[in-house]
């Protein structure tokens, strides 16, 4: 499948590199307002192809997105000192106002995969600007937070994260909800598995894992200024699920009729992904505490969306 990426900065270029190393696309086209940057990233990544999977990597104008099955939206402008979150949102909404019509004019059949932060609100905006059916506008959402949750649980239990199933839902951000009640490892509740393996989960372990997932981005940004590898790999994973019509369940953000008592909100839940985009949503059973936390997260996102709809 041909994949377009608009925004060749840290996130967009790392997603392109992850696609090349995983073999998730036959062709990757990078587009950026900074053409020199798009060209440099495309060349650098193309030089990894002999060591990776057969992929054509190039840069181009929007017209070069012609025939793309997925267009990743990773364009945006970072928060400036003194700028409020709403100012940032308004600026990035203007960027999407230019980028989305241009991308869809070239690739009218594409699924839009939004990575620009704040990703849930940007996905909400992209759904409105594009006028596409909601199943074709997907935000990377909490795909990365879920990966972090599984990684930390796996490390605590001493098993590979691939044998841990646990989801983070709601906002990709401070109010996200770690679903402890449904977390399993080796086909049983994580607590039971942990105890059997001789590493019982204490309240302090849970608090440390919660903090590790929720605050990960802050710590990484403090150390290196941006995050890229985790989200780039998550984007490549979502694209593989679409390209392979896998019906893989991944926590992605999309406009949803009603969640935890909140209507018309764009947030992450476990979504079944296939060639049409989001083909289904699974609503996990929630404890009372998780239900309250998800209502809070959905309310925050609903209010942020109302702010930009006006």
Task: Compute and round to an integer the Cα radius of gyration of the chain.
Answer: 19
User: 92 to 111, contacts with ligand ADP by CB under 6 A?
Assistant: 95, 98-99
Min separation Cβ 252 and ligand ADP, Å: 18
CB nearer to ligand ADP: pick between 11 and 153: 11
232 sits near ligand ADP (criterion: CB under 6 A): no
CA-CA distances (angstroms) from residue 31 to 6, 8, 47, 93? 5, 7, 18, 18
* Among 62, 59, 112, 119, CA closest to 88: 119
Min separation Cβ 300 and ligand ADP, Å: 21
Residue nearest to ligand ADP (CB): 9
CB nearer to ligand ADP: pick between 95 and 151: 95
32 sits near ligand ADP (criterion: CB under 6 A): yes
Among 59, 124, 172, 199, the one annotated catalytic = 172
Residue choice 47, 226, 247, 276 for contact with ligand ADP (CB under 6 A): 226
Residue choice 61, 78, 131, 307 for contact with ligand ADP (CB under 6 A): 78
Do residues 20 and 49 lie in contact, with contact meaning Cβ atoms separated by under 8 Å? yes
Mark residues 242-271: x for contact with ligand ADP by CB under 6 A, - for none.
------------------------------
Q: Where are the alpha helices (DSSP H) in the chain?
A: 10-22, 35-46, 85-106, 119-130, 143-157, 190-196, 203-214, 216-224, 229-243, 288-309
Do residues 139 and 267 lie in contact, with contact meaning Cβ atoms separated by under 8 Å? no
| 3-state class (DSSP) for residue 171 | coil
172 catalytic? Reply is yes
Environment class of residue 162 by beta-carbon count within 10 Å: exposed (0-12), middle (13-18) or buried (19+)? exposed
Min separation Cβ 158 and ligand ADP, Å: 34
64 sits near ligand ADP (criterion: CB under 6 A): no
Residue choice 4, 9, 161, 270 for contact with ligand ADP (CB under 6 A): 9
CA-CA distances (angstroms) from residue 119 to 169, 256, 285? 13, 15, 25
Interacting residues with ligand ADP (CB under 6 A): 6-12, 32-34, 37, 74-78, 95, 98-99, 226
Which of the residues are catalytic?
Answer: 172
């Amino acid at each position: 499948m041909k994949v377009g990426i608009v925004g060749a900065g840290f996130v967009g270029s790392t997603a392109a590199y992850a696609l090349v190393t995983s073999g998730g696309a036959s062709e990757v086209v990078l587009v950026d307002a900074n053409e020199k940057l798009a060209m440099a990233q495309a060349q650098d990544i193309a030089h990894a192809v002999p060591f990776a999977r057969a992929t054509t990597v190039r840069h181009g104008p929007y017209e070069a997105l012609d025939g793309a099955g997925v267009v990743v939206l990773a364009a945006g402008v970072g928060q400036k000192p003194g700028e409020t979150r709403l100012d940032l949102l308004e600026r990035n909404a203007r960027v999407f106002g230019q980028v989305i019509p241009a991308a869809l004019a070239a690739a009218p059949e594409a699924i839009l995969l939004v990575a620009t932060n704040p990703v849930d609100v940007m996905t909400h905006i992209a759904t409105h600007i594009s006028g596409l059916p909601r199943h074709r506008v997907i935000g990377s959402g909490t795909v990365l937070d879920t990966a972090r949750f599984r990684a930390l649980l796996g490390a605590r239990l001493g098993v590979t994260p691939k044998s841990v199933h646990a989801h983070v839902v709601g906002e990709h951000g401070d109010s996200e909800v770690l679903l402890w009640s449904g977390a399993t490892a080796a086909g049983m509740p994580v607590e039971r598995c942990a105890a059997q393996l001789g590493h019982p989960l204490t309240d302090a372990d849970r608090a440390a894992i919660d903090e590790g997932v929720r605050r990960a981005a802050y710590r990484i940004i403090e150390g290196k200024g941006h995050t890229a590898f985790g989200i780039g790999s998550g984007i490549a994973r979502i694209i593989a699920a679409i390209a392979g019509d896998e019906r893989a369940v991944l926590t992605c953000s999309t406009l949803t009729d009603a969640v935890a008592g909140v209507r018309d909100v764009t947030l992450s839940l476990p979504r079944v992904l296939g060639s049409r985009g989001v083909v289904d949503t699974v609503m996990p059973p929630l404890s009372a505490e998780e239900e309250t936390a998800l209502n809070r997260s959905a309310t925050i996102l609903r209010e942020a969306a109302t702010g930009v709809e006006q």
